Amino acid sequence: MGLVKITTLLSQTIGLDPDVVSPSQITRAVETRRVACNLPDIDRYWARLQTSAIELEELIELIIVPETWFFRDGKPFDYLKTYVNTEWRLKPNRNLLQILSVPSSTGEEPYSIAISLLEAGLQPKQFAIDAIDISQRSLTKARRGIYTKNSFRGDAWQERSHYFQKNDLGSDRGYELSQSVRDLVNFQQGNVMNSLAANQKQYDIIFCRNLLIYLKPEACTLVLAAIDRLLVTGGILFVGGSETGKIVPEQYSSIRQPFTFAYRKSELPPVPSKPSLNFNNPPQIPTTPNVQTIPKTHLSTIASAQSSPSLDLPAVRKLANEGKLIDATTLCKNYLEKYPTSADAYVLLGELYQADRQNSQTSQKAEQCFQRAIYLEPNSYEALIHLTLLKESQGDTTGANIIRQRISAIASRLPNSGVGGGT
């Protein structure tokens, strides 16, 4: 039980998808830290985690295993140089080229970006690179800039050996990156679950490779929404080769370059007006050229097949429409205590929180309910629509459009949905 709670905590804190990271890896990390803390069992260690932010950081350090090297995969950096010389330089009112690398790990990727820009002929004053990672240990190594042979794979780095100097002194043995290159990267510690949302800069290029595959669905949605807000229209997003399926095709166009896995941010469609909340019928998003309303005849193919007994939705909605929100909310909560995997119940609870306008905290609770419903049922039509409208009301139009495009993608896969020329 303690291990399950710890896994849930990691999922909530850093967005970790427990289905991607092996249980044995988490178990080893927990056991290592339990022994280091001199605690007798996992339950005691769980208690320590709840009261010590420092210990949680130590555990995260063991869970995150940095795996990177200079000019990894090669082609993205080739395209970066092409983009600089064929597009960015030709912009009449160009300013400083702003680039974000997240996660930055131990620094090989952002430093590869810096070297590529120098090779493209840019001067250091023409670009700025921000690099974010959750691991303080990785950032310490990145700032030190000394690397062993594991960071140099293939032959891409050999022609760039003049950027390095062999270091045989003390414990830091390896190849030291020149200070002039290290000065080009601004490293910052941050958890992508909140640091990106707090960032107010705009970037022309974002490298976010091999992070999304480790995130649970709702965390992935939040991170992509934050990235989309930070990336300028027409900007370039680089992802990992196994992450291309997570990019919304209606919002990003693929860069047609082999093994590059880059996308250009497109213009966003207009944001529809917000309809009023109605407990008797789910809200509808007005049809736009890129986003089609899903016909109700297909709701049964989208809704999750719940293994728990049916919730008496009419009774709850009747209480809500009579203004008895407390009673309706209590009924929903009691049901979820017995059947915590019911996406429908989470949607209804979110609607109840939205209706309680006297409580300023209910908007956040509603959002959490809709996100939970989407986690349980990724194609939950009502949850996706409610979350879209909620983000729109909060002024997060980018996040709303990300989810709206997801609704469109779901609709396009349905037979006779009227999307993509269907009847």
Give the span between the Cα atoms of 196 and 189, in whole angstroms.
Answer: 11
Do 195 and 188 form a contact (C-beta atoms < 8 A)? yes
Residue 128: beta bridge partners?
98
**46-50, 142-146, 155-159, range with greatest mean pLDDT:** 142-146
Residue type, 407: I
Does this chain's domain 75-265 share its CATH topology with 296-412?
A: no
**Residue 291 pLDDT:** 36
Q: Which two tokens stand for residue 346?
A: 């989470």
pLDDT cut 70: percent of the chain above it: 82
Looking at residue 409, what is its pLDDT? 66
pLDDT in tens, 353-411: 877 655 656 777 888 888 888 877 777 777 888 888 877 777 777 667 777 777 776 66
Confidence (pLDDT) at 294: 34
Are 345 and 336 contacting, i.e. CB atoms less than 8 angstroms apart?
Answer: yes
Q: Which residue has the higher pLDDT, 126 or 340?
A: 126
Q: What is the CATH number of domain 296-412?
A: 1.25.40.10
Average pLDDT, the chain: 81
Residue 423: pLDDT above 60?
Answer: no
Cα–Cα dist 72/128, whole Å: 21
pLDDT tens for 50-86 read 899 999 999 999 988 778 999 999 999 999 999 999 9
Q: Residue 304's pLDDT is what?
A: 37
Give the residue-averaged pLDDT of 290-305. Answer: 35
Q: Under DSSP, is residue 69 helix (H, G, I), strand (E, B) or coil?
A: coil
pLDDT of residue 361: 67
Fold held by 75-265: Rossmann fold (3.40.50)
pLDDT score at 276 = 42
pLDDT score at 412: 59
Q: What is the mean pLDDT of residues 278-286?
A: 48
Q: Which of 80, 176, 181 is nearest to 124 (CA)?
A: 181
Closest CA to 273 of 287, 259, 260: 287
Structural domain spans, the chain: 2-63, 75-265, 296-412
Of 412, 374, 413, 410, which is closest to residue 390 (Cα–Cα)? 374
Instruction: Please report the pLDDT score of residue 311 as a whole number.
Output: 60
